[in-house]
Structure 1
């Protein structure tokens, strides 16, 4: 059992300093004058003031037009000496604002219901709900409101300043505004270990201030998304017009803008604002933009446009799912319009299937199926059939071990900070093209010896380090030994190519089990319990196996009746 790790009381300050120092060391030329002043002001503070500031900056607080609000009298941190003095120094430095002039409506949420009732100049019913109570206090008006404000002001209110500047630091460090300092904590607790990869300036994701501003603009638009979606088509179109222009070479921003436009356009579709939706889809270069345009065209009776889009997809498919859609939707659309010339009904592969009846057990159906396939024995004796429950872990894991160095290579824009389990483009269509040459060389040299050498070397040297393809606990040595010995290199190469070409969609849907018969070779087995059916990604994998003579079958399990 691993030892319990105790973090220092102010671990958060150490992590915050590391973050802002990292950004200044690498991006100072991209920071605005106000952001550089924010950094200098913070770094000039004494340790207790720094602790208090980071504590407050990291907490939610009560939102207001002056910044997140806190009551000084309600703050208590054992590691901070002279909290009031620390607050005074932060106010002097401009990092906190004391008692900002705010409407009473923004101040009331700082206080409990009991405090508001006690502070009211006139008696109010205790049965009032919180919202009704605040509304009643605001409606009193005149001297009563002034009196209430005086009573509430007995406890100093602090408004955190500089949060918008820190957003720029977070963006430069994490590459987004969703993450926080939790990754540091997990590292400090020993829950995550990260690979060491280059973070030199020439490969940094942000190379200009314009890029930074465009990403900040994107996140400002993202904050308005829920409101726009609720308000309707006009608000959605207005939000789409606020999106920043795409920067040449900034694939991350391009992906984010595409994703947001797809979300907005899909809602416009639901609202039957088809023309506006189509216009937004036209600005997107990734799936499912062309698919949605084809569906809109067909729904609006524009059969020629719908079929033309399907033909365009078939000529230049972005991924396998898009191609399958075009084949199926194009055929159905042409059939309805009685224009089947040039459109064939897509063939649907039926994999070899076996149905077995097993006694019901509380264990997972896949593990019961594995015991059945190996004759009820655990996978231990080489003479017997051996079956392992691997699902998506085996082929992904061996690929991750085989291309480990390429995965963590110095690729422009791939790494923002030292705490990434994967390059930032890992789950995107850009992942393979950005490393195409290296991957092609590695796949071309794949043979039994080369594969085994690299896999075992990284398995032993990198054990426990985060890798998006490797689930360490699912890769036992006995499983790896059999897989590397039984699966021919041409099969590994085919599997790796398919995974790399669309890693986001293809790393799932692989068969549950791998069977190693006593006489040699191997077989992949997809298990389906009572009432379960094959999913589309599983069907695509099974079709791929059939095309390349990779042994496979589907095992349907039914329960024995009592």
Structure 2
């Protein structure tokens, strides 16, 4: 499927061509999973007149399912009622779908709505929601648009196959967060994507049950986001045990979110049970907190010992060490000896302010000079260099990583086995740091991949000037250490990095600076990065700022 940007306006029926490409893609890769209804849809779709196919795709791409004909203006389609005729015959559209007053109110202007009510209501100046409420009270029975608005010049079309089309979209993208507009955004060059080699087995779902599981998880996530009580959502979720590792990861994350909400609502027993089932990163530490809160110190201490023996990451280690000291006091046990940490050097500044662009920019302006420029790089420079150096490993065409041409990142990016599945590829990338060839490689990737969507490179920030300064002043050993830390936990370790970096090109050296304004203090993820840098003798300092009065 081509992913080359076009330099002129897209052809009039670009969206129809894109939709047909997606259907062809699905028939190639998902033929064994398509239902009889989906296969019939694809077969009948290509037999329709071009105008009917174009109208259907336009409606699929719009927010529906109800559409007024007088608001459908597409010169390339022509007469809308004529184009709708074959779709009505197939029962893909309806022109007689019953609407209640609320649905009707979303389709009418205020004056059109007022015309359906007694004259007094129309002249009252009430807002549209109030008019809808009155219409619902006086005429509660659903009826077709033509009966609500007899004599109206517009017809109403209702899309009846929205669920089917949404399933096809889910199968193509592997998620419901992306839409058909991805095609034209890529064609126009607004978004560019890495062209990963995709074979017939490049798909996110392996059986029909995977598709239904995804949709169920999506509905539960929506219900939680829309305010449904966490206990009710947990009951709705039920006992899901997907075999698909990607779906199992989504389930674990949802269970963690539900447990977190239950914990906030003080439903500690239910939260504890759901954390135990989840296994998502951080779930064990939350169990410890709940057991402490319930004064079940013995069980909490046992979990702490498990975590200390095999911590899932350094974030958990940091938290359980604190818990271990608290629990040791409660249980009358000797506290664990903790190795001292290397503190990062500190310096203080008093600057005019507050600065309109923030404390970090104030420090940058104060410290920067021609001989020692300072750049604002928070969480972007190190991740950007990692993204350039390890580009081929990140975009390796592994099964289950890429399903379609519009991925900005592998689908398993945050899975626990992301690194292990690509270990050899990452080892090859990091091996470049053993010679000066890595500098030329990073320059090559920066030039040839410029603007391509990636989870690691901020193209707007990583200018050629900053890249060259970093390649000149940063030791390869430090870049290797940063990459190794990122690979240990890509989700957690890509944040908390120092705000600024200062270079001394003539001495070929640098320092990173974490900036703290008045009343601000170091966060846990920042402390972990600072400690890592200090342990490996990387130059990093903490700057505390006070404003002049």
- Of 30, 34, 45, 2:48 maps to 45
Deviation at 1:200, TM superposition (A): 0.7
In the TM superposition, what are the counterparts of 1:542-553 in structure 2 within 5 Å?
542-553=530-541
3-state secondary structure, aligned to 1:18? helix
1:94 is the counterpart of 2:91: yes
1:239 is the counterpart of 2:242: no
Give 1:453's aligned residue: 440
Deviation at 1:47, TM superposition (A): 1.9
Q: Deviations over 1:137-180 (max 9, x none)?
A: 344469x9989973525453321021111122211222111221
Deviation at 1:331, TM superposition (A): 1.8
Give 1:278's aligned residue: 272
Q: TM-score, normalised by structure 1?
A: 0.87
Separation (CA, whole Å) in 2 of partners of 1:138 and 1:148 = 15
After the TM superposition, which of the residue ranges 348-357 and 276-285 deviates more from structure 2? 348-357
1:397 is the counterpart of 2:384: yes
Contact 1:137-1:145 within 8 A present in 2 as well: no
Deviation at 1:326, TM superposition (A): 1.1
Separation (CA, whole Å) in 2 of partners of 1:503 and 1:146 = 54
Give 2:451's aligned residue: 464
Deviation at 1:3, TM superposition (A): 11
Contact 1:183-1:419 within 8 A present in 2 as well: yes
Deviation at 1:493, TM superposition (A): 1.5
Give 1:329's aligned residue: 323
1:523 is the counterpart of 2:511: yes
Give 2:174's aligned residue: 175
After the TM superposition, which of the residue ranges 97-106 and 3-12 deviates more from structure 2? 3-12
- Of 346, 356, 361, 1:353 maps to 346
Pick closer, same or farther for the CA change 1:182–1:557 going to 2, 3 Å. farther
Deviation at 1:122, TM superposition (A): 7.8
* RMSD over aligned Cα atoms: 3.0
Give 2:336's aligned residue: 343
Contact 1:514-1:523 within 8 A present in 2 as well: yes
Contact 2:84-2:93 within 8 A present in 1 as well: yes
3-state secondary structure, aligned to 2:31? helix
Separation (CA, whole Å) in 2 of partners of 1:82 and 1:481 = 58
Pick closer, same or farther for the CA change 1:15–1:309 going to 2, 3 Å. same
After the TM superposition, which of the residue ranges 93-102 and 83-92 deviates more from structure 2? 93-102
1:166 is the counterpart of 2:162: no
3-state secondary structure, aligned to 2:206? coil
Give 2:521's aligned residue: 533
Q: TM-score, normalised by structure 2?
A: 0.89
Separation (CA, whole Å) in 1 of partners of 2:541 and 2:401 = 38
Separation (CA, whole Å) in 1 of partners of 2:7 and 2:37 = 42
Give 1:137's aligned residue: 135
3-state secondary structure, aligned to 2:269? helix
Separation (CA, whole Å) in 2 of partners of 1:222 and 1:467 = 26
- Of 222, 228, 231, 1:230 maps to 228
After the TM superposition, which of the residue ranges 95-104 and 281-290 deviates more from structure 2? 95-104
Q: Deviations over 1:444-473 (max 9, x none)?
A: 453132322321222233233232211223
Q: Aligned residue pairs: how many?
A: 540
Contact 1:359-1:560 within 8 A present in 2 as well: yes
In the TM superposition, what are the counterparts of 1:153-552 in structure 2 within 5 Å?
153-154=150-151, 155-226=154-225, 229-231=227-229, 233=231, 235-241=232-238, 244-247=240-243, 250-335=244-329, 337-344=330-337, 350-360=343-353, 362=356, 365-374=359-368, 376-377=369-370, 384-444=371-431, 446-517=433-504, 518-552=506-540
Pick closer, same or farther for the CA change 1:232–1:474 going to 2, 3 Å. closer
Separation (CA, whole Å) in 1 of partners of 2:228 and 2:223 = 10
Pick closer, same or farther for the CA change 1:69–1:191 going to 2, 3 Å. closer
Separation (CA, whole Å) in 1 of partners of 2:102 and 2:377 = 57
Separation (CA, whole Å) in 2 of partners of 1:432 and 1:148 = 56
Contact 1:38-1:162 within 8 A present in 2 as well: no
Separation (CA, whole Å) in 2 of partners of 1:245 and 1:145 = 41
Separation (CA, whole Å) in 2 of partners of 1:147 and 1:506 = 56
After the TM superposition, which of the residue ranges 262-271 and 413-422 deviates more from structure 2? 262-271
Deviation at 1:118, TM superposition (A): 2.0
Stretches of structure 2 lacking an aligned partner (at least 5 in a row): none
Contact 1:237-1:276 within 8 A present in 2 as well: no
Deviation at 1:102, TM superposition (A): 5.2
Contact 2:96-2:145 within 8 A present in 1 as well: no
Deviation at 1:537, TM superposition (A): 1.7
Separation (CA, whole Å) in 2 of partners of 1:134 and 1:513 = 55
Deviation at 1:17, TM superposition (A): 2.5
3-state secondary structure, aligned to 1:16? helix
Contact 1:365-1:529 within 8 A present in 2 as well: yes
3-state secondary structure, aligned to 1:474? coil
Contact 2:343-2:534 within 8 A present in 1 as well: no
Deviation at 1:50, TM superposition (A): 1.7
Contact 1:414-1:424 within 8 A present in 2 as well: yes
Give 1:64's aligned residue: none
Stretches of structure 1 lacking an aligned partner (at least 5 in a row): 62-67, 378-383
